Copies of this chain bind each other. A is one copy, B any other.
């Protein structure tokens, strides 16, 4: 099975076999973390990017009044920081949600790799762009969607993101290991209200969530209810993959 990073990139970028080999070599798993463990601590400067290879993680902030907001959810194949620059310090922290294995990509190697191959650079930019688009849509949810719409929207989004990396079974069912408390922190809701809104969602019979398993029974219905429009994910419908022969302009 292909590396989730590559699987994802194939939905928006055009990589040759060579390109993929280069990326794979950079993205070797190097560390494992237990659930709830912090990947990096606020304020700590580092020389590498974090790539999720397996498991789920999140980017969160804790305000001074103790409230917590999860800003972003990271799935296998997701880069946790932009590739182009290292901030002088982190302003918030990344934590594992499930047990996680990560790869740490040296920042300077990333940059020189991108400079050497326009295709790889293009792919990294596409990835960055969709990450931002996801956060933007998250912002829109918090601003203008109701609790059930937020939940539904999240589940629709996860459905596509997980499908990209081959983690959806029968096109409708996937593992959803996020607790209700974390869903609250992600969606700007209280734990109690998440619970009740989930029940409301289940009652629509559009989807169900038992144990850690989420199943969508009526995708179109769920999307309508959630005001979900997939275009922000900038996804190419069929995974694209170029021939392995010479790239025009490569290394130019």
Q: Indicate if A129 sits at the interface (CB-CB under 8 A).
A: yes
CB distance from A61 to the nearest CB of B (A): 6
- Chain B residues within an 8 Å CB radius of A71: 136, 139-140
Contact of A61 with B140 in the complex, beta carbons under 8 Å: yes
Of the listed stretches A20-28, A62-70, A159-167, A209-217, chain B binds A62-70
Contact of B122 with A234 in the complex, beta carbons under 8 Å: no
Contact of A144 with B188 in the complex, beta carbons under 8 Å: yes
Contact among B129, B136, B140 with A63 in the assembled complex (CB-CB below 8 Å): B140
CB distance from A130 to the nearest CB of B (A): 9
Q: Please give me the residue from chain B that is nearest to A229 by CB atom.
A: B64
CB distance from A176 to the nearest CB of B (A): 20
A231 to B89, CA, bound (A): 9
- Chain B residues within an 8 Å CB radius of A234: 87-88, 91
Contact of B143 with A188 in the complex, beta carbons under 8 Å: yes
- Chain B residues within an 8 Å CB radius of A135: 132, 135-136, 139
Contact of B82 with A129 in the complex, beta carbons under 8 Å: yes
CB-defined A-B contacts under 8 Å, sample of 27:
A61-B140, A63-B145, A63-B227, A65-B227, A68-B144, A69-B139, A69-B140, A69-B143, A71-B140, A82-B128, A82-B132, A84-B84, A84-B121, A85-B122, A85-B129, A91-B133, A91-B232, A91-B234, A92-B136, A115-B115, A135-B135, A135-B136, A138-B139, A139-B139, A142-B142, A142-B143, A142-B188
Q: Which residues on A are within 8 Å of B, measured CB to CB?
A: 61, 63-65, 67-69, 71, 82, 84-85, 87-89, 91-92, 115, 121-122, 125-126, 128-129, 132-133, 135-136, 138-140, 142-145, 187-188, 227, 229, 231-232, 234
